[in-house]
C-alpha cells in the first residue's frame, strides 16, 4: 500500500520556508536533515521533501525562488491529513490583493 502524497509548487525562499514551517509544526516533534523533514505523531509520521525548481521569472528583472514540496503521509486518516494541511496552509498564507 502506498502512502498518500501531496506535491506542491512553492514560490518562497528556503529560509522563509523553514521559518513558516516552524509555525505550522508548533506542537509537533520533528527532525530536519537538509531539505528533508520528518514529523512524528504517535505511531504516524509525515515526511516533507523540498527540492529546487526552475525560478519563476517575471519580466526582465524579477526572479523568484521556486521549490517542489512533496508531503508524504504515513498512517494518518483523511481527517488527520486534512487538519495538518489546514494548519500548514495557514502558516504559509500570504495576504495580497
CA 97 to chain centre: 23
The predicted pLDDT at position 96 comes to 59
**Going residue by residue through the chain (97 aa), what tens digit of pLDDT does each one get?**
568 999 999 999 999 999 999 988 888 889 999 999 999 877 889 999 999 999 999 999 999 999 999 999 999 999 999 999 999 999 988 765 5
Structure-block grid coordinates of residue 24: 505550522
CB of 48 within 8 A of CB of 67? Answer: no
CB of 37 within 8 A of CB of 47? Answer: yes
Q: How far apart are CA 97 and CA 88, in angstroms?
A: 21
pTM of this structure: 0.87
Structural domains of the chain in order of their starting residue, each with its CATH number:
5-92 (3.30.1370.80)
Structure-block grid coordinates of residue 84: 495538518
Amino acid at each position: 500500500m502506498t502512502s498518500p502524497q501531496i506535491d506542491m509548487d512553492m514560490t518562497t525562499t528556503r529560509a522563509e520556508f523553514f521559518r513558516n514551517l516552524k509555525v505550522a509544526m508548533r506542537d509537533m516533534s520533528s527532525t530536519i536533515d537538509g531539505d528533508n523533514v520528518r514529523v512524528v505523531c504517535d505511531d504516524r509520521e509525515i515526511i516533507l521533501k523540498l527540492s529546487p525548481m526552475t525560478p519563476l521569472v517575471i519580466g526582465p528583472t524579477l526572479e523568484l525562488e521556486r521549490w517542489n514540496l512533496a508531503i508524504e503521509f504515513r498512517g494518518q486518516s483523511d481527517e488527520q491529513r486534512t487538519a495538518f494541511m489546514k494548519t500548514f496552509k495557514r502558516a504559509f498564507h500570504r495576504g495580497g490583493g
